[in-house]
Amino acid sequence: MVINLKYIDPTYMIRAIPSNASDNVYCTLLAHSAIHGAMAGYTGFTVGPVNGRHAYIPFYRVTETQNKVVVTDRMWARLLSSTNQPSFLSHKDIEDAKEEPAATILLDDVGYPDGSLVSQEPM
């Protein structure tokens, strides 16, 4: 059985700034985990931290839901700042985001798994 294994070092990924020591350690840890999984015969997976531990994550679990990045959010601004990337938002984009109402979840008649309901009515 012939195995054709291609290894792409994650440290060669495109970055806005040069990698530092912790980036190198993290990429090495990811690479080692990926190689161990491949040599163990696993396919269709990626590696990453789950609850503070590195795990093999099947591709279908990564792609089963779709998340939306809010580019006007504070967390996105922190990411841009920590990686020294420029923000391409115009002043108009930021003002438009401020005018949109924030999404809220209404907690009227919250249901629990046992079927009981919690009503928001005053007692």
* Same-domain check for residues 49 and 30: yes
Domain assignment present for residue 2? The answer is yes
* Same-domain check for residues 56 and 43: yes
| pLDDT, tens only, 9-35 | 665 655 656 778 888 888 899 999 999
Domain span including residue 86: 67-99
* Same-domain check for residues 60 and 24: yes
* Same-domain check for residues 6 and 17: yes
* Same-domain check for residues 57 and 74: no
pTM value is: 0.49
In the predicted model, is pLDDT for residue 105 greater than 80?
A: no
107: left (phi over 0), alpha (psi -120 to 50) or beta: alpha
**H/E stretch holding 46:** strand 45-50
* Same-domain check for residues 21 and 77: no
| pLDDT, tens only, 36-92 | 999 999 999 999 999 989 899 999 998 898 888 888 888 888 988 887 788 877 777
**Cα 35–40–45 angle (5° rounding)?**
65
Asked whether the beta carbons of 8 and 21 are under 8 A apart, the reply is no
In the 8-state DSSP scheme, what is residue 33?
H
Domain assignment present for residue 80? The answer is yes
Number of domains in the chain: 2
